[in-house]
Amino acid sequence: MPNRVDVGIEGAFLVPLTPHADERGFLVEVFRHEWLGEVAGMVAGMVAGMVQANLSRSRAGVLRGLHFHLRQSDYWCVLAGRAFVGLFDLRAGSPTEGRKAELSLDAEAERTALYLPPGVAHGFYAETEVLLQYLVDTYYTGEDELGLAWDDPGVGIAWPVSEPILAERDRHNPGLREAMVDQPRYPGPEHGRLQEPTRRVDT
57 within domain boundaries: yes
Cα end-to-end distance, the chain, whole Å = 48
163 within domain boundaries: yes
pLDDT beyond 60 at 136: yes
Buried residues in 69-80 as b, exposed as e (16+ CB within 10 A): bbbbbbbbbbee
CATH number for position 21? 2.60.120.10
201 within domain boundaries: no
From the candidates 33, 67, 69, 186, give the one annotated as an active-site residue: 67
For the chain, the domain total comes to 1
From the candidates 115, 134, 140, 191, give the one annotated as an active-site residue: 134
Per-chain mean pLDDT for the chain:
87
Give the model's pLDDT for residue 180. 87
Tens digit of each residue's pLDDT (9 = 90 or more) over 157-193: 999 999 999 999 999 999 999 988 888 999 876 544 4
Q: Which positions ≥6 away from 172 have C-beta within 8 Å?
A: none
Average pLDDT in the 6-17 region? 94
Residue 191 annotated to the active site: no
Low-confidence winner among 36-45, 57-66, 97-106, 124-133 (lowest mean pLDDT): 36-45
Question: How much of the chain exceeds pLDDT 70, in percent?
Answer: 87
Residue 186 annotated to the active site: no
Question: What pTM was estimated for this model as a whole?
Answer: 0.86
Q: Where in the sequence is the domain holding 110, given as residue range(s)?
A: 5-187
Neighbours of 11 (CB within 10 A): 24
Rounded to 5 degrees, φ, ψ at 183 are -75, 130
